[in-house]
Structure 1
Amino acid sequence: MTDARLAAGDQAPSFTLLNADGQPVSLADFAGSKVILYFYPAAMTPGCTTQACDFRDSLGSLQAAGYTVLGISKDDPATLKTFEERDSLTFPLLSDEDLAVHNSYGAYGEKNLYGKVVTGVLRSTFVIDEEGKIEQAMYNVKATGHVASLRKKLGVAA
């Protein structure tokens, strides 16, 4: 577990993770592109489903503005495949079962859950520029309304 929080201007930590089909996907694959990388606690839970479907429904406008969306959770590739198929998700979902990438982005740690302090995934979103630098680092975002808020920050129309 790490408390290292990333901030605008930091180099985005590189990674290679398996997607829902068990194929490796690296941040380096998107060099020269803008990436929205988001961490969510668990596939097929209500909040994570809402957030993933919001990204799915906004994908056209985000892609038109030059963004690639990648979702990362601690779920295994088979679970991600079920999530992808169940909710018709059309962007890559990546598996970080050992939480190494979560930790390198500061997206795992203590959080308040229903008034109790627990350790877990911090719902977080990072906007990474074409040079691999963090443009925006948002921690503890809400599942509902986050994508609309993000689009507004990025100046991407619905």
Structure 2
Amino acid sequence: MSTRLQPGDTAPDFTLPSDTGEEVTLSSLRGRRVIVYFYPAAMTPGCTKQACDFSDSIDRLRSEGFEVLGISPDKPEKLAKFRERDGLTITLLSDPDKTVLTEYGAFGEKKLYGKVVEGVIRSTFVIDADGTIELAQYNVKATGHVAKLRRDLGLTD
């Protein structure tokens, strides 16, 4: 089992390629709060719902000082198709070797249909302006997660 991060931990820094081919470095976003969420695979029903929910909320989240980064093991080309197909407005990052997923405890053993398998653990982290984990949520549900996260952050409409 990989180590799970807790509030108060320093968020592991990373640089990953985005769906547009540019490199995104977490530490370059210091001064803003960042929501980093990990999802198993682009263009699957649950991951699409979650990405669309974040995209639908991005203007409000940005107005409250948040940036959103979605990370999966998918290659940038697949992420670009995902963005285009679903009109996504959040930043999608590629972690094909699962290094960042593992550092965040978002890759490892999980139950899938009653069987123990190794894979991406759907997880969300809120990182404060100084790079410290403010909120760490593992095994989140794709549907309704963004609304719950907004409530957890006090961002209800």
Q: Same fold (TM over 0.5)?
A: yes
Alignment of 1:15-94 (within 5 A): 15-94=14-93
SS in 2 for 1:10: coil
Structure 1 runs of 4+ aligned residues shifted over 2 Å read: none
TM-score under structure 1 length normalisation: 0.97
Distance 1:71 1:29 in 2: 16
Deviations 1:78-104 (A, max 9, x none): 000000111111111000000000000
Distance 1:20 1:106 in 2: 23
For the Cα contact (< 8 Å) 1:35–1:128, is it kept in 2?
A: yes
| Displacement of 1:157 | 2.4
CA RMSD of aligned residues (A): 0.8
Unaligned segments of structure 1, at least 5 residues:
none
Letter in 2 for 1:105: Y
Report the identity percentage.
61
Distance 1:42 1:88 in 2: 17
Deviations 1:4-31 (A, max 9, x none): 1000000000000000011110001201
Letter in 2 for 1:104: E
Q: Say how many residue pairs are matched.
A: 157
SS in 2 for 1:47: helix
SS in 2 for 1:54: helix
TM-score under structure 2 length normalisation: 0.98
Unaligned segments of structure 2, at least 5 residues:
none
